[in-house]
Structure 1
Amino acid sequence: MNWKRRARRGITLLGHAVGYDSLERPDGKHVRRLWFDPPDSVAIVARSGDELVLIEEYRPRLGERVLSCPAGRRDPRESYERAAKRELREETGYEAEHVELLETYYPTAGMRKRRAVVFADDLTPGAQRLEPDEFIEVRTVPVEDALDVVRSGTTCGWSLPPLLLAEEAGLL
């Protein structure tokens, strides 16, 4: 099946490209498809011995607190591994001696961004370095309970997919 891109229109809104593509479907009909280009991001599955380091944060769009893996944006010239170390340190205070890229994927088809899942271990605790608009509580849970604990509340793309990938890799 061949789709043909006829035109692309976009604007920059709050530093992110947003727009739509005009496409011709294989059946000859013309459609528009919305897209959004936020920065790439990283979710960190951080293991400290028999504990997993998670964060609890109020998510305004969901209207509730969510327990998830530490996560954040990747700067354009930064590797996913370096971004994971930085975000882990900022959000939790933990320094990771070892990080390993597990996967990169598109979290949704409507966003042209990639999300990486990075496993971190050999952790040393320290002080959080939160941005002024971040209000994050650090929580640790036993590794063997992590999936159940996360699934007992509201889950999001920062929690369940990273943990499942780490479990599949034999890291949980």
Structure 2
Amino acid sequence: MSEPLGADPLEEVELASELVFDGRLLKVRRDRVRLPDGAEGGREYIRHPGAVAIVAQLPDGALVFERQFRYPLRRAFLEIPAGKLDAGEEPLACARRELREEAGYEASDWYYLGVMHPCIGYSDERIELFLARGLTQVGNALDEGEFLELLSLSPAEAEAAVHDGRITDGKTISALFRALPLLRG
């Protein structure tokens, strides 16, 4: 059988798929696939609804950060405001909601920075990245069971925190990298 024009020679084709775990946030699947050489293989992966992350710049130029405990690694992390997409929600609407709920800000100016895929080896998660400017403080409305501390860093301090290991969160690093040219003017 010949390949259609434009087919990716590395593509793996799903032959069968099984739901292994169906949680509130994550769904774990186990698939049987046809490999590029024609053999069969197995793949386990997590289905994720997607998320957003926001580089929020205050009027003085500083950036809004959150310090939040992340249970899987049993410690607090320094990260930018972010959250998961609700079913059918547009990424910009989610970004506006998350910035308001978590950080207590609304923004007049929004810039789309792109998308990042944090765990390509075992998840289909995508995180849409935004820069928010023209912030007005309106008060936060954290979800039940959500606890965080807000702080601000200058863009230079944030970049230094990535390089010295104080910021290790992938979405934060990616979003900062994408935003820095705009932040520097």
Deviations 1:40-62 (A, max 9, x none): 10000000131101101111111
Separation in 2, partners of 1:43, 1:6: 34
Aligned to 1:46: 56
TM-score (norm 2): 0.84
Q: Figure out how many residues of one structure are paired with residues of the other and give that number.
A: 171
Separation of aligned partners in 2, 1:156 and 1:81 = 21
CA distance in 2, matches of 1:125, 1:14: 35
The offset of 1:143, in angstroms, is: 2.2
User: CA shift at 1:24, angstroms?
Assistant: 2.1
Counterpart secondary structure, 1:87: helix
When the two structures are superposed, what TM-score results if normalisation uses the length of structure 1?
A: 0.90
Out of 32, 36, 41, the residue aligned to residue 26 of structure 1 is 36
4+ runs deviating over 3 angstroms? none
- 2:129 maps to 117
Q: Which stretch of the first structure deviates more once superposed, 156-165 or 104-113?
A: 104-113
User: How many angstroms apart in 2 are the aligned matches of 1:137 and 1:126?
Assistant: 16
CA distance in 1, matches of 2:138, 2:18: 46
Aligned to 2:156: 144
Q: Which runs of 5+ in 2 are unaligned?
A: 1-8
RMSD of equivalent CA atoms: 1.8
Q: More strand per residue: 1 or 2?
A: 1
1:158 match: 171
Residues 78, 124 of structure 1: alpha-carbon distance in 2 compared, 3 angstrom cutoff: same
Question: Could you list the runs of 5+ residues in structure 1 that have no partner in the other structure?
Answer: none
Larger Rg: 2
CA apart distance, 1:151: 4.1
Q: Confirm or deny: 8 A CA contact 1:80 1:101 kept in the other structure.
A: no
